[in-house]
Amino acid sequence: MATYKKILVGLDLSEDSSQVLKKAEELGKAFGAELSLSHVIEPLTFAYGGDIPMDLSEVQEQLQNQAKEQLQKASVPLGIPEERQHVVLGQPASEIHRLAEEISADLVIIGSHGRHGLALLLGSTANGVLHGAGCDVLAVRVHSEE
């Protein structure tokens, strides 16, 4: 069985993130591993392709600040220091790959909603992370409260 020393947890900061954090905490304790948390924000220009004739930098900065606050709150119960809390801008799967390599993670933990049909065809972050990672990836099936 593999042992893990550095675990990168990719969070979307939704309510479902608590399920991913719980699994990461369990594995971190079981292996005595160091946990790092990450959240990737896609640039608004990616989403809108420059179709909006206005400066979105202030909105982007607010999104980043909110994400940092949420990641910090999630880190407190786990005792994760600020230097292992990463809010980055870019395409989620590629940024998680880059960050995992940068911190020498040997496991990436992400949430998976288990989408089917059209949602699956459109692609998912979990699938993107899985198919390009240089280390093990654990996709935690999250169940939304509906």
- pLDDT at 26 (0 to 100): 96
Q: What is the pLDDT of residues 9-67, one digit of tens each?
A: 999 998 889 999 999 999 999 999 999 999 999 887 655 555 556 667 788 889 999 99
Average pLDDT, the chain: 86
Residue with tokens 């409260």: 145
Indicate the pLDDT class of residue 137, thresholds 50, 70 and 90.
Answer: very high
Domain ranges of the chain: 6-141
- With vertex at residue 44, the alpha carbon angle to CA 83 and CA 86, rounded to the nearest 5 degrees, is 10
Q: Nearest 10 degrees: CA dihedral of 74, 79, 81, 84?
A: -60
- pLDDT at 1 (0 to 100): 62
Q: Which residue has the higher pLDDT, 142 or 100?
A: 100
- pLDDT at 7 (0 to 100): 98
Of the candidate CATH numbers 3.40.50.620, 2.60.40.1480, 1.25.10.10, 3.20.20.150, the domain formed by 6-141 belongs to 3.40.50.620
Average pLDDT over residues 100-104: 97
- pLDDT at 58 (0 to 100): 83
- Strand 34-41 to strand 136-141: parallel, antiparallel, or no bridges (unpaired)? unpaired
Indicate the pLDDT class of residue 109, thresholds 50, 70 and 90.
Answer: very high
Q: What is the pLDDT of residues 62-92, one digit of tens each?
A: 999 999 999 999 999 999 999 999 999 999 9
